[in-house]
Amino acid sequence: MLKKLTSGAVAAGTSLKVLGSAGVIRPYSPVTLARLARTLRSWGTGPAGGFTSLAVRVPDDVGVADELGELTWGELHARSNSLAHALRDLGVEEGDGVAIMARNHRGFIDASIAVAKLGADTIYLNTAFAGPQLVEVLERDAPKVLIYDEEFAGLVAEASVDLQVVAWTDGDAGDVPTLESLIESKDSHDLKPPSRHGRIIILTSGTTGTPKGAPRSEAGVEAAVALLGSIPLKSRQKVHVAAPLFHTWGYAHMALSMLLGSTIVLRRRFDPEGFLQTIEEEGCQAAAVIPVMLQRCLALPKETQDRYDLDGLRVVASSGSALPGDLATTWMDRFGDNLYSTYGSTEVAYAAIAGPDDLRANPGTAGRAPFATTIKILDDQGDEVAHGTSGRIFVGNGLLFEGYTGGGHKEVVDGLMSSGDVGRIGDDGRLYIEGRDDEMIVSGGENVFPKEVEDCLARHDAVTEVAAVGVDDDDFGKRLKAFVVISADADVSEDELKGWVKENLARYKVPREIVFLDELPRNATGKVLKRELAQSDSE
């Protein structure tokens, strides 16, 4: 009992220290504190309570800055109230689902808060869905309303959702109501808190089939302390969330803004030079990205990079996939030691975080488990292996998902959930990812993971992007086939790249073939669509 009390006291002390350092804990007037307590007690810590609390704490601070301008937290609160009233009139009730297929702009935020205020579930749709994927997901999860950007009108035409709303339009939405028209149609008086808190349903990437819905309830203080204890984000900073908001990482920074009172800077599409320009013009101290965005910024001509002043950028928070090759040190050598890489998945949320010191020590590391997070490496029997030994990665934290909406779950052992990856914990205590457990091939009797070969090729000066897949081989049974994108001014042959791999890795890991592409096929979250690459080999 004493041990539990001591552990609880240490955890509480750590939480107070982290939240104080981030500027979350600061003095408020007694009146404001009373209103905050009432708000969080009534609405919870999700989008409804979190964003409403900002309207109480700092109503005149800018909450969102997008291509249409700025909105304060007070304005967002009023807009979401009006939208919630309008959605209720359309028939949305507690427990219903509302699907959102929108890019990064104010409408995404408006809709997310409004749906939460109704006690409904929010289903975030990937903006890169193909028509059949979209139809399957909507039929499975059966939302009451579909909110989408006008550019996706052709995709949603076959959707089995009668009630539809346009979130962003550059022209005439026709007979379909828009978010702005719904907001303007209702007054902004406060709603009565629902009897249930709505869930957030984020979809898996869908790179190998129909995306699965991964619901989770509201994040607690533990999750915030885990991230803020390892990534030095501060209260009331400007954060350019370039990662898609429908993705776990983009959504995480929208959620952190509720706690920190950060200004969320949004642009509908990522453009590498536009990214640098936005950070300079908006004076952003932080940015949330996926790794391919960093690759594309670094692929810009040096004179383009030099055109923008990023000295005020303190945190570049990356997640969504591993940092390939020496991308981490290349970025930091160019833009400073501001890179923080988070390893996780849609199902387990976060598992490990690598800061600049970790990435300098080894740019291939996933880092260490943050506050109140457990990582174990297990063998096929579910037993923990020794440090340095490869095995399946299992994670425990306060944000594990609740099971897929269509049924099924990730494997769980003693309360720890499988991340779906294979890796090891090194003698330095850091986690190292070796690859997806379903991507491993056996070549010449040896286990080979594409990631190791990808990292090797990525370290070649001529290569900017790379992906590898397993293909049949007459001599070895299986061998990897690599697809590379090289820099515009590079002159390198297939044999030279094979020789590079042979110099650095075992002979059986040399790709059977290396194909040069102008770009790799990716989804909207930056993940390479390896299924398309594998299919190209069989055609």
Range(s) of the chain covered by CATH 3.30.300.30: 441-538
* H helix runs in 125-266, sequence order: 131-141, 153-156, 179-185, 221-228, 248-260
- Whose CA is closest to 533, among 443, 471, 453, 448? 471
d(Cα 200, Cα 180) in Å, to the nearest integer?
A: 23
CATH class of 272-426: alpha beta
Sorted by sequence, the CB contacts under 8 Å of residue 133 that are 6+ apart come out as 126, 206, 210, 211
Structure tokens at 452: 């190791």
**What pLDDT band is residue 214 in, cutting at 50, 70 and 90?**
confident
Contact 120, 221 (CB under 8 A): no
The ranges of the chain annotated as CATH 3.40.50.12780 are 272-426
395 vs 204: CA distance, rounded Å: 17
Main-chain phi, psi angles of 459, to 5 degrees: -80, -5
pLDDT at 500 over 60: yes
Compute the distance between CA of residue 500 and CA of residue 70 in angstroms, rounded to an integer.
50
Average pLDDT in the chain: 90
- Is the distance from CB of 203 to CB of 212 less than 8 angstroms? yes
pLDDT of residue 537: 58
Q: Sign of torsion, CA 58 74 151 169? A: negative
How do residues 375-406 score in pLDDT, each as one tens digit?
999 999 999 999 899 999 999 998 888 888 87
Name the phi and psi angles at 236, rounded to 5.
Answer: 65, 25
Amino acid at 274: G
Question: Rounded to an integer, what distance in angstroms lies between the CA atom of residue 231 and that of residue 360?
Answer: 16
Please give the average per-residue pLDDT across 435-462, as a whole number.
Answer: 87
pLDDT of 207 above 80: no
* CB-based contact 201:178 (threshold 8 Å): no
pLDDT tens readout for residues 139-184: 999 999 999 999 999 989 888 899 999 999 988 878 899 999 999 9
- Of 363, 501, 470, 366, nearest to 423 by C-alpha is 366
123, β-bridge pairs: 99, 201
Residue 515 has pLDDT above 90, yes or no: yes
Residue 444 φ then ψ, to 5°: 60, 30
* 410: DSSP letter: -
What percentage of the chain exceeds 70 in pLDDT?
96
- Chain region(s) in the chain for CATH 3.40.50.980: 75-218
Tell which CATH classification among 3.40.50.1100, 3.40.50.980, 3.20.20.70, 3.40.50.300 matches the domain 75-218.
3.40.50.980
Flag whether pLDDT at 192 surpasses 80. yes
In this structure, the number of other CB atoms found within 10 A of the CB of residue 448 comes to 24
How much is the pLDDT for 405?
Answer: 84
| Alpha-carbon span 86 to 163, nearest angstrom | 12
Lowest mean pLDDT among 52-56, 154-158, 186-190, 364-368: 154-158
pLDDT higher than threshold 50 for residue 3: no
Cα distances from 415 to residues 1, 202, 207, 501, in angstroms, run: 21, 22, 27, 40
- CA 322, CA 315: separation in Å to the nearest integer? 18
Please give the pLDDT value at position 320: 86
* Confidence label for 324 from pLDDT (cuts 50, 70 and 90): confident
Instruction: Determine which helix (DSSP H) or strand (DSSP E) holds 53, and give its type and residue range.
Output: helix 47-57
Per-residue pLDDT band at 4 (split at 50, 70, 90): very low
Helix (H, G, I), strand (E, B) or coil at 406: coil
Using only C-alpha atoms, the chain has a radius of gyration, in whole angstroms, of: 23
| Amino acid (one-letter) located at 461 | D
What is the structure's pLDDT at 8? 54
Architecture of domain 441-538 in this structure: 2-Layer Sandwich (3.30)
The angle subtended at Cα 330 by Cα 329 and Cα 335, nearest 5°, is 95
Q: What percent of the chain has pLDDT over 90?
A: 65
Write down the pLDDT at residue 538. 52
Residue in this structure with the two tokens 């190791």, named with its chain if needed: 452
Residue 114's CB is within 10 A of a number of other CB atoms, namely: 30
**Residue 348 per-residue DSSP state:** T
Q: Which residue has the higher pLDDT, 74 or 523?
A: 74
* Sign of the C-alpha dihedral computed for residues 252, 392, 125 and 469 taken in this order: positive
| Highest mean pLDDT (candidates 16-30, 40-54, 134-148, 274-288) | 274-288
CA distance 461 to 484: 12
> How far is Cα 435 from Cα 425, in angstroms, rounded to an integer?
14
CA distance 364 to 255: 28
The confidence score (pLDDT) of residue 7 equals 47
**279-300 pLDDT, tens per residue?**
999 999 999 999 989 999 998 9
Provide the 3-class DSSP secondary structure of residue 214.
Answer: strand
User: In angstroms, rounded to a whole number, what is the distance separating the alpha carbons of residues 380 and 85?
Assistant: 52
Q: Binning pLDDT at 50, 70 and 90, where does residue 209 land?
A: low
Read off the amino acid at residue 97.
G
Residue 446's pLDDT band (cuts 50, 70, 90): confident
- Identify the residue with better confidence: 10 or 480: 480
